[in-house]
């Protein structure tokens, strides 16, 4: 039971309740530092990744679009958010240190995000392909942003604002989860007119295809 609880605690870190406020906090830090180019780079990169994750999930829920061979029904939002945000939190904490230190901090954040992605598979929330693709997508976001940050003038972040942000993120960990799946279902219903019907039909078709015929022994 304690082992299961530890995986649940790890996977909770990647939830929207914590990660979306963290994404907003990063944007606020950049705005406060008047780093507008980095602010827009962050909004574009993270916003595009969020839309891609949502689109992949809506495509499956509304129309049953996925990849059967890979057991893929959409990018893992937990994995994407974690890999996009956590490396940047670590990176900004060590922003005033050497380049090597910043890079090691970002890599440590990516490793922690990989652990969160693994928790989604261990707890059977996602397949390996969904968790891995989400982590890769989020890592691409964080690495692209770090590349921008290293090539542009370094912003002077407000340490007090950062401290307050981390306190608020800690408080957010006790909040009720954001019903992201419900929002996905509603969006699919609005766009396709039949919500989860296509995905459900697709699942039943796959089960029928793979199950043995009557009076025929399973291989």
Cβ(134)–Cβ(20) under 8 Å? no
pLDDT reported for residue 172: 86
pLDDT reported for residue 213: 45
Q: Which residues on adjacent β-strands are paired with residue 67? A: 72
Tokens 């509304």 belong to 62
pLDDT reported for residue 199: 53
> Which residues constitute the domain of residue 192?
2-201
Q: Is residue 70 part of a domain?
A: yes
d(CA 76, CA 18): 16
Q: Is residue 48 part of a domain?
A: yes
pLDDT reported for residue 198: 52
Q: Is residue 214 part of a domain?
A: no
Q: Is residue 125 part of a domain?
A: yes
pLDDT reported for residue 209: 44
Q: Name every residue whose Cβ is closer than 8 Å to that of residue 108 and which is 6 or more positions away in sequence.
A: 87, 90
Q: What is the pTM of this model?
A: 0.85
pLDDT reported for residue 186: 81
Q: Is residue 75 part of a domain?
A: yes
Q: Is residue 11 part of a domain?
A: yes
Q: Is residue 26 part of a domain?
A: yes
Q: Name every residue whose Cβ is closer than 8 Å to that of residue 35 and which is 6 or more positions away in sequence.
A: 152, 153, 155
Segments in the chain below pLDDT 50 = 1-4, 203, 206-219
Looking at the structure of the chain, the number of domains it has is 1
pLDDT reported for residue 3: 47
Q: Is residue 89 part of a domain?
A: yes
């Amino acid at each position: 039971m304690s082992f299961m609880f530890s995986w649940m605690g790890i996977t909770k870190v990647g939830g929207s309740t914590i990660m979306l406020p963290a994404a907003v906090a990063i944007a606020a830090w950049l705005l406060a530092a008047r780093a507008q180019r980095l602010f827009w780079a962050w909004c574009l990169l993270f916003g595009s990744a969020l839309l891609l994750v949502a689109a992949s999930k809506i495509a499956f829920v509304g129309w049953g679009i996925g990849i059967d061979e890979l057991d893929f029904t959409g990018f893992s939002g937990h994995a994407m958010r974690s890999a996009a945000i956590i490396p940047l939190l670590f990176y900004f904490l060590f922003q005033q240190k050497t380049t090597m230190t910043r890079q090691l901090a970002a890599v440590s954040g990516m490793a922690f995000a990989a652990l969160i992605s693994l928790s989604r598979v261990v707890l059977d929330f996602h397949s390996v392909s969904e968790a891995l693709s989400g982590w890769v997508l989020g890592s691409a976001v964080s690495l692209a942003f770090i590349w921008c940050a290293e090539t542009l003038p370094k912003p002077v972040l407000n340490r007090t604002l950062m401290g307050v942000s981390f306190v608020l993120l800690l408080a957010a960990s006790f909040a009720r989860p954001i019903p992201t799946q419900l929002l996905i279902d509603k969006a699919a219903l609005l766009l396709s007119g039949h919500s989860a019907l296509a995905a459900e039909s697709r699942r039943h078709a796959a089960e029928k295809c793979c199950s043995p015929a009557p009076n025929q022994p399973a291989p």
